[in-house]
Amino acid sequence: MAKFVKVAKLKDIPPGSRKLVEVDGFVVALFNLDGRICAIEDMCTHDGGPLAEGEIVRPGVIACPRHGAEFDICTGAALTFPAVEPARTFTVKVEKDTVYLEKPFA
């Protein structure tokens, strides 16, 4: 059975916003995309840049602030060069007003 860990209150991630959390040594960016909460590791697979500092260039897509590699926030798919490897994403569960991420993270 999956084990989830509490990481945030839903009110702390209003629509269109993001929030960084750290769990088990991973820095994870939570995004509220029009009510859908997605979680992606805050690290570009091209050179380790902080994805959460990037710009959302179109719905559900963030560009790394270092070299512009684009990633799907919810699936982690690398959409543009120079990134070719997907970013790690995490399963999210929202219950009432609380956001949980699935463990393990390793």
Per-residue pLDDT tens for 18-28? 999 998 888 99
- Supply the pLDDT for residue 61: 98
- Supply the pLDDT for residue 47: 92
Share of the chain above pLDDT 90, in %: 91
Q: Rounded to whole angstroms, what are the CA distances from 52 to 12, 20, 41, 48, 104?
A: 15, 8, 9, 12, 22
Q: Is the pLDDT of residue 106 over 70?
A: no
- Supply the pLDDT for residue 59: 97
Q: Is the pLDDT of residue 89 over 70?
A: yes
3-state secondary structure (DSSP) of residue 57: strand
Q: Which domains does the chain have, with CATH numbers?
A: 3-103 (2.102.10.10)
Nearest to 20 by CA among 35, 3, 4, 8: 8
Q: Is the pLDDT of residue 105 over 80?
A: no
Per-residue pLDDT tens for 32-48? 999 999 999 999 999 99
Nearest to 23 by CA among 97, 101, 91: 101
